[in-house]
Amino acid sequence: MRPRILIVGGGLAGLALAIGLGQRGLAYEVVEQESTWAPVGAGIGLLPNAMCCLDRLGVGNAVRAAGFEVTATEWLDVTGGSAIRFDWRDVWDGDPVIQIHRHPLVQILADRVTGSVRLGTVLTGLRQAAEGVEVELSDGSAGLYDLVVGADGVYSTVRRLWFRSAPPRYVGQHYWRGALPDPGGSLPRHWWVARAPGRFFGLTPLGGDLVYCFGQLNTDDLVREPPDGRLAHARAVFVDFPPFATEALARLERDDQLHFGPVYEVAEPHWRAGRVLLIGDAAHSCSPIMVQGGAKAFEDALVLSEMLGEVADVPERWDAVLDAFVARRRPRVDWVREQTHLRISQATAGPAALMSADAQAGVLDRFRSYYAPLKAPP
C-alpha cells in the first residue's frame, strides 16, 4: 500500500505528526532537507500545554528526564535590581515549565518515528491530480500522495510552491541564542531576564549541566551579522548588564557557540488548499515571547493525527476533516498571536514600566490571563 501522507519537514511539528500518525496506523513518509538531525538554536521552553501533547504522544517522560524543571521567572533592570518574580506553577495550576536543549528534544522525537524518513531531501514540485497530490523531490523521485503536510518552518517550501503567499514579516526583533556548560551550578537555576531599553538578556537551565543564554535586540532595521565577531558583538551589546549576563557571555569561547538571527511572523490566511495543509511555523510562526512556538507545533500535530485517525479508512472524508482541523485550531493560534502582539507592545513601554509597583502587583494576574485559554485541551 502506498504511503498516504507526505510530511515535508523533520522539525518539531513534522516529527510529532509522524509519531501521532504512527500511533493510529496511518501510513506516512517524512522528507527533511537537512542531512542530519541538527536543529537550529539551543534551548526551548515547553509550557504545560506543550507537555500535555508530548504526554499524549508518549514522549513526555523522556523529555522531562532530559530537560530541567523551571518553576520561577525573575525580571531585573539593567542594574540587577528591582526584581519581579513569579512562579509558573501559580500560572499553570501547579505545573512547571520544562526547559530542554533542542538537540535531545529532536532526538527523542526522531527515535519514536517508525515510518520512512529521508534526510537530505528537498521538495521541488507539487501538482494537484485527480487521485491526490503529485510530488517531485530533489533525489529525482516522484510520488502520489493523498495528503501533503507542510511542516517545514517559517521559510516553508510548501507554502511558497503551493500557496504563493506573502513572505514572512520581520517583527523588529533579533535574538542571540546559545548553550554553555555550568557544571558547578553557579549560574541562575531559574529563569532570569534583565531588561534595558531595546534589549534583554536571559538565562535558564536546560538540564545536563547546560544553561541556555538568550539575548534580544529590538530594531526597525534588519541586522546582517556575519558569524565572525558575533560573540564580541553580543558582549558589547550587553556589557552594562548584571554580572550573571556578562559572566555567561565570558564563558563562551567561539562565535559558533551563538546563533543570531531576526524574528519573522507568518500570518498565512490559508492553511489548507486541496490536499495540501500547513502546520506549525509554516502556517503561523510568530515572536517567541509567549513561549508557544513548540506548543503550537505539538498541538497541531496531535490534533491533526487524532482527527485523521478517526477517518483513516475513509479518504473521501479527509477534505471535511482538514477543514475542521483549520476551524478548530485557528482561534487558539489567533489568541497566541494577539497575546504576542500585546506582550511586545508592553515590552516597548520600557523596563521602568515593567518594574513599577503596579506591574509587580499585577504580574501574576497578567500571566494567568495570557495563558488561561491554553489550559483547555487543544
3-state secondary structure the chain: CCCCEEEECCCHHHHHHHHHHHHCCCCEEEEECCCCCCCCCCEEEECHHHHHHHHHCCCHHHHHHHCEEECEEEEEECCCCCCEEEEHHHHCCCCCEEEEEHHHHHHHHHHCCCCEEEECCCEEEEEEECCEEEEEECCCCEEEECEEEECCCCCCHHHHHHHCCCCCEEEEEEEEEEEEECCCCCCCCCEEEEEECCEEEEEEEEECCEEEEEEEEECCCCCCCCCCCHHHHHHHHCCCCCHHHHHHHHHCCCHHHEEEEEEEECCCCCCEECCEEECCHHHHCCCHHHCCHHHHHHHHHHHHHHHHHHCCCCHHHHHHHHHHHHHHHHHHHHHHHHHHHHHHHHHCCCHHHHCCHHHHHHHHHHHHHHHHHHHCCC
d(CA 277, CA 124): 17
Is residue 12 over pLDDT 70?
Answer: yes
d(CA 108, CA 63): 7
Mean pLDDT within 316-339: 95
Q: How confident is the model at residue 268 (pLDDT cuts 50, 70, 90)?
A: confident
Is residue 8 over pLDDT 80?
Answer: yes
Q: How confident is the model at residue 348 (pLDDT cuts 50, 70, 90)?
A: low
Q: What is the pLDDT of residues 295-311, one digit of tens each?
A: 999 999 999 999 999 98
Return the pLDDT at 178. Answer: 94
Other C-beta atoms lying within 10 Å of the C-beta of residue 142 = 12
d(CA 237, CA 279): 35
Return the pLDDT at 206. Answer: 93
Mean pLDDT within 341-368: 68
Closest CA to 278 of 153, 171, 375: 153
Closest CA to 368 of 94, 43, 57, 156: 94
Mean pLDDT within 155-166: 92
Return the pLDDT at 79. Answer: 78
Return the pLDDT at 42. Answer: 87
Do 82 and 76 meet the contact criterion of CB atoms below 8 Å apart?
Answer: yes
Return the pLDDT at 328. Answer: 98
Is residue 286 over pLDDT 90?
Answer: yes
Return the pLDDT at 1. Answer: 45
Return the pLDDT at 352. Answer: 52
Mean pLDDT within 321-325: 97
Report the percentage of the chain scoring pLDDT > 90. 74
Q: What is the pLDDT of residues 52-74, one digit of tens each?
A: 999 999 999 999 999 999 999 98
Mean pLDDT within 69-89: 85
Mean pLDDT within 243-270: 92
Return the pLDDT at 343. Answer: 81
CA torsion through residues 176, 178, 184, 188, sign: positive
Q: How confident is the model at residue 350 (pLDDT cuts 50, 70, 90)?
A: low
Is residue 208 over pLDDT 90?
Answer: no
Do 63 and 105 meet the contact criterion of CB atoms below 8 Å apart?
Answer: yes
Is residue 356 over pLDDT 90?
Answer: no
CATH of 5-168+265-375, one of 3.40.50.2300, 3.50.50.60, 3.90.45.10, 3.40.50.300: 3.50.50.60
Domain borders along the chain are 5-168+265-375
All 3 cell numbers of residue 309?
A: 485517525
Do 176 and 260 meet the contact criterion of CB atoms below 8 Å apart?
Answer: yes
Judging by DSSP bridges, how do beta strands 68-70 and 72-77 pair with one another? Answer: unpaired
Is residue 184 over pLDDT 70?
Answer: yes
Report the percentage of the chain scoring pLDDT > 70. 94
Is residue 132 over pLDDT 80?
Answer: yes
Average pLDDT over the chain reads 91
